[in-house]
A and B are shown apart, each in its own frame.
Chain A
Amino acid sequence: MKIKALITLFIMMCITSSLLAQQKKDVNSITKAEVLEMTIEELSAYDLEEVMKLMDITGASSLEELYELLLNKDVTSASKSEESLFDSPLSTTVLKQEQIIASGATSIEEALRLVPGLIVREKTNGTYDVHIRGNDNIPGKNMLLYSENSNTLVMIDGRPVFNYSHGATLWETLPISFVDIEQIEVVRGPSSALYGPNAVTGVINILTKKTNSSSPLVSANLQGGSLNTYIGDLAFRKSFNEKLNIGLTGNYEIRDREKEELYVYNGGSSPEDFNYWLDGDDKAVGSDYYTTEQMSRLQLLNPYTRNEPLLNPKDGKPYYLWPAEGTNEYAIYDTYSTYPNPELSKKKMGVNAYVSFNPNKTTTIDLSGGYQYSDVMTSTMCDMPSSYGRKDSKTGYADLNIKIKDFSFQTNYNGGTTNYAIGNEGFELDLQQFTSQAEYNLKLEKISIRPGVSFQSMSYDDSKHLTELGRGYLNSKQTVNIAAGSLRLDYKPTEKLRLVAALRAEKYNNPSDVYGSWQFVGSYKINENNIFRAVYSRANQSAFLVNTYSNYSWNVVNRPYPNVIHFDGDKDHQLKTMDMFEIGYRIRPSKNVLIDIEGFYNITENGGALMPDYTSATFYNVVDAAIDIADNGQFDTNAPVAIPDSIHMTYLNMPLKSKQLGASVNVDWVISEKLVANAHITVQQTKLDNYLAYSRDDIIEYQVGKAVEQTIGLALHEMGQGGTVNPVQTISSSEYPTDFNNDYKHESTPSYFGGLSLTYRPIKKLEIFPQSYFYGAQKFENQYGDVNIDSKFLLNAKVSYKANDKLTLFLNGRNILNNKTVEFAYMDNTPTLVLVGFNFKL
């Protein structure tokens, strides 16, 4: 009996051990299929080291990495502290460096086409117009300057890289490149309460990479190809220990246009209305593309004979659009010095150094500094016969960011020289921008309270770059100072409900006023996969130098009249403000899909522009015109001859009100390890109230007309009394038209725009990234006419081959359908680029 039991036990032990042996296979010889067949119970027989090996065999992690990279991002810009993007109370998008590199974007601006709600139009090869949601080119019928985006605050690590001289961002002056970037955070909607002025339509905060022990020592990206386009960057990063890390980066970019001709506008579009005479070719010509040599021969056409140039009665010489250097005291730049390399679209370089010191766990000290040089051909920021303008810039910066527990302090400086309109005296300025801010984030159980103070001082000085004082737009050093206090309350009364209130008050030196901005947000997280939010916020622009301190006399030498146009800023103007109401909903229907929906309505008021407030003219036939009209109320034989003499332009606030209603949807979908899709679309409609459809020249004409009417009225009255009337009189008017339009459809912003992209990895080493960007038709209203921009579908594609862990080779095609239509009025046709390059890490 005992023996029987022992035999049974032995047999059972044998069976059990063989079963166990069968369950626990050798990790060194097991196949992927065998691991995939195993249950978690079976796998639990292995120790940790073995489990790690088994996991490597299945290669199961890359999908998780995709979720982490694309669907579970963190963001800091929406609440000023790190949080899950899903929980962000504002409309927020994060672009990781990996996504930017994979997309084949050739510049930061182009990468922004991956972000919902962004309108990105290429002007010349590598120069772009970037707007958030729209409200672009307001007020219309004006200079190209007013199409620049002065409503979005762009920052690098929280340091504003904004141009306070004219408003807007000079993207080419950003000293950094892809190799510097950790991620780009875009917050749509008014955000001045968090970041200060100019965050009107939103914020673009570019966060740079922090060096740590896993950072590659060397990383580099380089690509080159068509149109002499070469784009490269390089970084060295070294982590000495947990406390001290450094980084050094450099970048260079150069690009050509597809042609060297430049557009000259305001010349008429058909032979009947041509305004120019091309000397040498001896023919009437109109608005068209010309070489710099042809531009130097353009003269004003005699409007009466239409087959010869108009001659200046003073000296009998023609009016050259660009008088040759030395023709008169104001002609110091000819077409050749204004456009020395008309085929060059962009040249830029930058160097940056980063030092990060973390003396203990609760203290971080980040210091960065750098220098940039740029030279671009893009739309002019001035009023010239050509729509093209060159800008160059040489600036340096230093930025110190200290965080001690919940206290943060940031101070930075940006200084150098920028020429906003090469070839126009008075637009080269030295700039000095200081920003300092301190905040404390007091965290209690359910509420965090973040009080803060900040001070900004922006000085611009053109006096050192003038042949004589009086020829600049400032003619001195002028400064915009802003002192501000802010408070942000973030209250989570329950697990699901979150209430945020942010308030900021700003005191300007000019206009001497206090501006308030705010943000009120409520978000309700229904469960882990659904969150609803609502926002009401207000933001304002800052004072810009051009609006506040302009003091520019334009002595007009290339036209018969007027003799002078004087531009004045207004120290007491009102700053543009936007109020926005927004609702948003984020849903994760499954672990691999994220859908973000936002609907918005905003109202923008108190904008303005440099417009004529006073026109003075000479009325040459007062008596004859008065007599002519006296009989039947009409001019039959003696139409009034009145020629504008001098015009006084001031920064004028306008009653214009813009109302925008729109919505964006973004879908990120990790379909499988091999395929990832993203789609986003924004639809919007903008309407204007109190819109005056008059250009500067229309207002001048209107004011001359009003002055003529008044003068004739007075003359008739005087003549009726038996008095004498001076036949030639200096007349003037500051009257303004009142035929305002309401609910005027603003068509400068496309009614729809968005993008689609796919990442396809058929095998681990190969990645194919087709990406499209599209927008609807637009009508761009300029002072020299309206330009219809066709709807567009752009297709780009990048194919990358990962040779090994260190090296990736790629072929990059931009605009591969060769869709040439212009994206921005009066600018270049979109070029097609084919580039080859590599990404390297050591």
Chain B
Amino acid sequence: MFKKGSIILVLLLFTLSVPGQQSMFKALFMFNFAKYIEWPTSSNQTEFVIGIYGNDDITPELKKLAAARKINSKSIVVVNVKNPSEAANANIFYIPSSKSGDIEKVTSFFKGKSTLIVTDKNGLCSKGASINYVTQDGKMKFEISKTNITKHNLKVDSKLISLGIETK
């Protein structure tokens, strides 16, 4: 009996789960956000650029999507950058949780530019993020700030706002 218990415990200790699922849904969310956002037409960019600040598990998921899908008939390009200036033409710029401390640096760099800033840390919509992933009662949700989106010359469909948690 004791032996069996020990084996179960050992198994439990070494059953490392695969933490990829959440990143996949974050990438899917992001891909879908783009359907509800309108970028200014003046841009003659031929690619849809998603900038990711640093390294994050969302990158491989987005790259899989980029290989299979397009956004607004444009190919998706995913770039990992060490500095926002390396993705100056980004349509979406994502700040992973680990880089949340640099939000002000990112918002000041993209100020006035047509970039949707997506973050992953509680409360970042109040610091300038357009859309922010949050976890509530075990469920991933997203906060959305219409004010912050329109500040970046973007238009947002009210449907997207209704699906998220609107912050003012």
Contacts and interface: CB of A to CB of B under 8 A. Distances in A.
A528 B54 contact: yes
B151 to A, nearest CB: 12
Summarize B's interface: helix, strand, loop or mixed. Answer: helix
Given A48-B32, A61-B135, A592-B16, A55 B98 contact: no
B38 interface: no
A805 interface: yes
B51 to A, nearest CB: 16
A163 to B, nearest CB: 35
Contacts of B35: 47-48
Given A52-B163, A61-B139, A672 B17 contact: yes
B79 to A, nearest CB: 16
B168 A675 contact: no
A68 B140 CA distance: 11
A72 interface: yes
B36 A48 contact: yes
B57 to A, nearest CB: 7
B27 interface: yes
Interface residues of A, number: 46
A592 B19 contact: yes
A49 interface: yes
A40 B135 contact: no
B104 A41 contact: no
A96 to B, nearest CB: 12
A72 B98 contact: yes
A62 interface: yes
B136 interface: yes
Given A41-B68, A43-B24, A361-B126, 19 more contacts: A44-B68, A49-B163, A58-B21, A60-B140, A63-B19, A63-B21, A64-B140, A68-B135, A84-B98, A84-B100, A495-B83, A528-B98, A591-B19, A671-B12, A671-B16, A672-B15, A674-B12, A675-B13, A805-B137
A41 B19 CA distance: 18
A528 B55 contact: yes
Contacts of A87: 101
Contact of B98 (A86, A495, A674): A86
A43 B138 contact: no
A83 interface: yes
B105 to A, nearest CB: 9
A59 interface: yes
A56 B29 CA distance: 13
A392 interface: no
Summarize A's interface: helix, strand, loop or mixed. Answer: mixed
Given A40-B24, A41-B69, A47-B35, A65 B138 contact: yes
Given A48-B163, A84-B98, A528-B98, A41 B65 contact: yes
Contacts of A443: 104
Given A47-B32, A72-B98, A242-B168, A63 B25 contact: no
Contacts of A39: 64
A726 interface: no
B82 interface: yes
B61 interface: yes
B72 interface: no
B31 interface: yes
B160 interface: yes
Contacts of A14: none
Nearest to A669: B13
A616 to B, nearest CB: 64
A214 interface: yes
- Between A43, A48, A72, A675, the greatest number of chain B beta carbons within 10 A of the residue's beta carbon is seen for A48
A766 to B, nearest CB: 15
Given A60-B21, A61-B138, A443-B104, A40 B83 contact: no
A51 interface: yes
A51 B68 contact: no
A62 to B, nearest CB: 4
Interface string A800-812: 0000010000000
A44 B82 contact: no
Nearest to A212: B123
Nearest to B31: A44
